[in-house]
Chains A and B, each alone.
Chain A
Amino acid sequence: MNLLKVFTRVFAFVGKEIVTTVRRPGAIFSLILGPFLIMAIFGYGYNGFRKPLDTLVVVPQSAGLPRDPGFYAGIGGAPVQIVAVVDDADAAKQRLALREVDLVVIAPPDAGAQFQAGQQEVITVAYNEVDPVAQSYVAVLADQFAATVNRELITAAVKSGEQYAIGAGKAVKVIPPEVLAAPTRVETENLAPTTPNVVDFFAPAVLALILQHMAVTLTALSLVRERLGGAMELFRITPTSAGEILAGKYLAFGILNLVVATAVIGLMVTALHVPLLSNVLFVLFIVVLLSFASLGLGLFISALADSERSAVQIALLALLASVFLSGFAIPLRDFDPAVRNLAYALPVTHGLRLLQDAFLRGTWTPVNLLALGLIGFVLLLATNVVLARSMRPV
């Protein structure tokens, strides 16, 4: 009988939370269509490749180098798009300063003279970037550009030397100049079971981020609203315990999260054709664990916050931390170990890894599953303590 009463109270909260959530204007849209639309827009707008950099090549009249843009396009390759070949370096830099172009490559004014004198020729690559990632990218491009030019020069020199030796009637073993200029080459082999495109790769991560964010925002306001609205005083008079309130809220928002996740996963697989290598039930199990931990985070925030505004602010901080630290934007291994450990405290860090592995590799890491369960359990206990304390007489 007592157990029945406990169930009755818990399911009173389940019903109340589900009804009040789905009856809010726009809730269905923002809960189900919203996450999918975000993914679809992301996939439509970003193909994972950088746009080629608009490049001006400056070839001084004295250099004696070709002026055909096609020649330099062949050297620069796909990452650059040669806009024009000009001879005035200052004018080119002026356009770079105005950000009309992305790169200016300046050839040496007397190509070959320095080399003949036993010194390196200098090719200047100018750019106008404040983004450190873009700066690194340009540096890599410049190295690649120099390597290509050097290889071309060596190839030409070898060809010329071999022709000279053959012409002089010497017995030489002819090795193709291209092989002498680049004796080795690299072939890559990807052992991953799928070769996902950028949408495939990011979709499970976006799903993890959305699930955590949805759980946190739905619940972050939940307890603080009850407290500020006076409901907590009413609950205190009824036989309801903190554990029953929490159980009702966990179940209600967990069900909502699971419904949304199921719908979004269905759309991911059918509309975006994201490969799903794991069993769908296992993916839903990950969703349940991620929701459990994320709801714990939201309810813990809600139990601590003293106003709706502070609850929203903390929820937003959790979102920011998740975007930057979880491995969503920047791979986790690139962080300092201390920061990486902090990132492991976020449910989404484990959820993201688990969902990406489940979708794209068909594997899973037990430690991530355990971590999610542990985070959820600790947050549940902590929230229960804080809530029970707040229900005590003052």
Chain B
Amino acid sequence: MNVLVFADCQDGKILKSGIEAVSYASRVVEQFGGTLVTATYGTEDSSELEKLGEVGAETLFVSKTNQGTPWSLTEYLSALVRERNIELVVLSNDFTGKAILGLLGSKLDAGAVNNAVDFPKNENGFTVKSQMFSGKAFGEVRITSSIKIIALLPNAVGTVSNPKSLSIKYFEGDFNSRIKIVEEKKLETGGTVPLPEAELVVSGGRGLKGPENWGIVEDLASTLGATTACSRPVSDLDWRPHHEHVGQTGLAIRPNLYIAIGISGAIQHLAGVNGSKTIVVVNNDPEAPFFKAADYGVVADAFEFIPKFTEALKAHKANNA
């Protein structure tokens, strides 16, 4: 099966989710046979492009002038699908992947499955496991169209090294965006990993009582090298910015470690975080529902425990440096 995989790029850097998608696609080609075509845009920096060669890309298309809008990327990828007889398109289920998945599906008359968490199977037709119900369940979805699309959930399968020598082809010409980008705004993340890509996350809830108390969350996060998140009421109250809100109506994340401080663990909150590999809950109410979803729990006042925990972590880091 000939596979096209798209790796998104921002500010000249290939996103981690894109590298993961390429690793996934190269393993699909190993399993099903066929050739792999990789596509990106927005960088000609060979050290960035090499990152894709490290995980299995060989034929790499780089669109030089693409604006990276949903339509212009859709037309770019559709052109490659036709030119290269592609049967499966792999995207990452990140912001860009979600924006183009449906456009591409309608343009190619393709069945699309997003939130994929595993490799496709070929037992009952072509099927792939997808996370649904905002993380509360999974579905095994069969795709029956001749061209198929999978969008891979970030941090679901990881990357494996599979170095190949890259053959880079520049793709000339721009595609119509149909929209005009007037301005781009960057989030102030102070250099930390953006939440959708973060492996370590420290999250605060209403139990922290007010924005002035977020120092203990930030200290812990910076000691760990983690990204901060919050529950919905916290962002609704403007204690924290909206982009930190995780849960059913916020971001769904699946970091390796999620530390929840002063969050009760409502089902809508859990929906966005229960894909995390390890969950630590700090709450002064032993009855808080979050403890049922946790791997490790600390029944304590966050204001007492978190500073002690952060100090102990600093000592641990110093010893293991």
Asked if A and B bind, the verdict is no
* B-binding residues in A (CB < 8 A): none
